[in-house]
Amino acid sequence: MMQMTYLDAGRRAVIEEMERDASVWALGEDLGRGGVFGQYRDLQEMFGKGRIADTPISEACIMGAAVGAAMTGTRPIVEMRFSDFALCAVDELVNQAAKARFMFGGQMRVPLVVREPIGMWRSSAAQHSQSLESWYTHIPGLVVVAPATPADNLGLLKSAIRSDDPVVYMEHKNLWALEGPVPDGEHLVPLGKADVARAGRDVTIVTWSGMRHGCLRAAEALAGEGIEAEVIDLRTLWPWDRDTVFDSVASTGRLLVVQEAVSVSGFGAEIAASVAEALHFQLKAAVRRLGAPRIPIAYSPGMEDQARVSDEAIIAALRGLMAPVAVS
């Protein structure tokens, strides 16, 4: 194992896959300068301008070119800079890439990866801070991935690049500098397999992306009170690992779903509803979900915090789930 940042783990994944497969290439704005966060640092010097391609400032143009290139035999990595900006390219992704295999009767594939940095990050304000994963989990034909650790950013990005389906790959901006252990050899994490980040017997927490770390801190804090929470990081939102989640909730009888995104119509509702439908006779308490209020994310740090799901909020929700149910 070696220590590596979340950002450098993603960069390593791109390098390894480009070295392994000559059909892999990347396109986006300012990649020759390393990308907006430095995740393509020195890659143009390593692979040339034909494989690390700078593009015009047009997300629709970038995505459209990538979809066509994927249909004709290459594996593009599409850099959207921010998930907010990717909305300018949603037609090419949702109405073309996601539907091509179906509309061509299985004769066409679109093996591309769309990197969309998500989440709140040091006062980036309303147009640069959103978590929009639920937009894409709703669309048949798309795979949706949200890594939370350096090792997962390496292994999941490599698996995404090798996928024959279009993958929306959502890296959390606030995790770029996060350091953690990463295998120093070949490392692949399968798409669709959750990670049980912490074992527990009393309550199940299901989460993904940056909220993994707040949930782990909350679980450790409550362990001192005798409450043992199991923390499941989905890693892949579609397809999501129903077996791991259902097995855990069947054992604990309680579920809290935690997301950074706005709670209204968020992907947490899908998890909550699926568990409630499948395991309602085994639940000891009503399923709860925790997410941001339906407000724009402000530039001001104090106002930004009003949209943030804090460790304290997670702890309070867990205590509420563990409280005895009053019987009238």
Q: How many CA atoms, within 13 angstroms, populate the side-chain half-sphere of residue 153?
A: 31
The helix or strand, by DSSP H or E, that contains position 137, with its residue range, turns out to be helix 133-137
Taking the C-alpha atoms of residue 82 and residue 29, their distance in angstroms, rounded to an integer, is: 11
210-244 in b/e form (b: 16+ CB < 10 A) is bbbbbbbebbebbeeeebebbbbbbbbbbebbeeb
Identify which of 281, 279, 286, 198 has the alpha carbon closest to the alpha carbon of residue 246.
279
Taking the C-alpha atoms of residue 211 and residue 230, their distance in angstroms, rounded to an integer, is: 14
What are the beta bridge partners of residue 75? 24
Residues 6+ away with beta carbon under 8 Å from 179 = 3, 4, 5, 6, 150
| 3-state SS, one letter per residue, for 165-215 | CCEEECCEHHHCCCEEEECCCCCCCCCCCCEEEECCCCEEEEECCCHHHHH
Residues designated as active site: 128
Tokens found for residue 110: 């679109």
Identify which of 241, 266, 121 has the alpha carbon closest to the alpha carbon of residue 190.
241
